Amino acid sequence: MFSIKKIYQPITLAEALEIYTSNPQLKIIAGGTDVLISLHHGKLDDVELLSIKNLTELTGINYLTDGTIEIGTMTTFTEIFRNEIINKYIPILAEASVSMGGPQIRNNATIGGNICNGAVSADSAPTLFVLNADLRIVNNEGVRIVPITEFYAGPGKVKLQSGEILTHIIIKKADYKGMYGKYIKFSNRKAMDIAMLSVATLGKVKNNKFTDLRIALGVSAPTPIRCTKAESFAFNKTIKEELIKQISEKTLLNANPRHSWRGSKVYREHLIQVLTERALKEIITMSGGKWHE
């Protein structure tokens, strides 16, 4: 059993915001796979929880008429990797979703919890970074939209105020149309292990040149990051083996991995380059480009 003093279980978003505003000390619980671990480890004591499990407004995936894809934050990773819209338009997110945890965890863990927990290893983060995902955050007074690339504040920290709930992840058509993506999670064990390093790449190739290329890394800095220097370097250059090497090297200009028991700094730097190369080759092939003569 855990050290929980009280739990609120509202059934509408309006009700949840009302309760949260009058009780700013509340801790939100979604699927609970991070929160209950903190409780289990005694990191949270006598906590009062606000469960957002029953908020149907926060579930499901919608394809809007202008091609925008809206993902409710209570959507689980199982729902995401099985979803038709996701598999058709942004298969890279399905790939990232099925890479996390094991079946039991994926049935329980939500994408909103994955983001708000702020872990550098969060499997959804690199992919959402390359998709330029926007986050819809609401409180009792209104709505604000924040690009996910500006949402992380440090290890385990995100820019959410008390009283605020993340309701949706928004992906615009321009950010996925004609783009091919690849997510690579590197971990010691295939299932039930968090990433030692992760790379997401998303790109568009025309006349064997990158007309758009985005690279994001997990566990390579205090927050997930975009490799902006490598990206701008790659723009409009003709794809060759040499170019792929150079792009992969340039990812290190934005990265600053740390040493941990899971992997040393040097090993992580090596992984960043090797995995980026691998991911780039996959998306080049998918886009009909080629890097060899």
Partner 1 sequence: MIKVTMTVNGKLYTREIPPMMRLLDFIRDELKLKGTKEGCGEGECGACTVIIDGDIYNSCMVLATSCEGKRITTIEGISGAELHPIQEAFLEVNAVQCGYCTPGMILSAKALLDKNINATEKEMKEAISGNLCRCTGYQKIIEAVKLAQKKLKKR
Question: Would you say 145 and 119 are in contact if contact means Cβ atoms under 8 Å apart?
Answer: no
- Alpha-carbon distance 164 to 198, whole Å? 29
CB of 113 to partner 1, least distance (A): 12
Amino acid found at 270 = H
Instruction: State how far the Cα of 236 lies from the Cα of 215, in Å rounded to an integer.
Output: 15
Q: Please say which residue, 189 or 292, places its beta carbon nearer to partner 1.
A: 189
| 64/172 Cα distance (integer angstroms) | 10
**Distance, CA of 39 to chain centre:** 24
Smallest distance from the beta carbon of 219 to ligand FAD, in angstroms? 10
Looking at beta carbons only, is 11 or 192 nearer to ligand FAD?
192
Residue span 66-95 as binding mask against ligand FAD, x where in contact by CB under 6 A, dash where not: -------x----------------------
User: Taking CB within 5 to 8 Å according to partner kind, which of partner 1, ligand FAD, none is near residue 116?
Assistant: ligand FAD
Minimum separation from the CB atom of position 87 to ligand FAD (A): 19
Q: Smallest Cα–Cα separation from 227: which of 259, 264, 273, 196?
A: 273
Is residue 12 at the binding interface for partner 1, with CB under 8 A as the rule? no
Tokens of 164: 């605020």
Rounded distance between C-alpha atoms, residue 68 and residue 111, angstroms: 18
Place of tokens 């996959």: 282
Under rule CB under 8 A, residue 188 binds partner 1? no
H-state helical runs in the chain: 13-22, 35-40, 77-82, 84-89, 91-98, 103-108, 111-116, 125-130, 228-234, 241-250, 265-286
Site string for partner 1, 22-51 (x = CB under 8 A): -------x-xxx--xx-xxx-------x-x
**Is 28 an interacting residue with respect to ligand FAD (CB under 6 A)?**
yes
x/- map, 54-93, partner 1, by CB under 8 A: ------------------------x---------------
Give burial (CB, 10 Å; 0-12/13-18/19+) of 45. exposed
Q: Which residue matches tokens 């801790």?
A: 27
Q: Which is nearer to partner 1, 51 or 87 (CB)?
A: 51
Q: Which of 126, 104, 123 is nearest to 214 (CA)?
A: 126
Residues numbered 125 to 154 that lie near partner 1 (CB under 8 A) are none
Residue 179 touching ligand FAD (CB under 6 A): no
Q: Which does 97 bind (CB under 5 to 8 A by kind): partner 1, ligand FAD, none?
A: none
Residues that bind ligand FAD (CB under 6 A): 27-35, 37, 52, 73, 100-101, 105, 108-110, 112-114, 116-117, 119, 121-123, 160, 165-166, 192, 194
Residues that bind partner 1 (CB under 8 A): 1-7, 9, 29, 31-33, 36-37, 39-41, 49, 51, 53, 78, 101-105, 107-108, 190-192
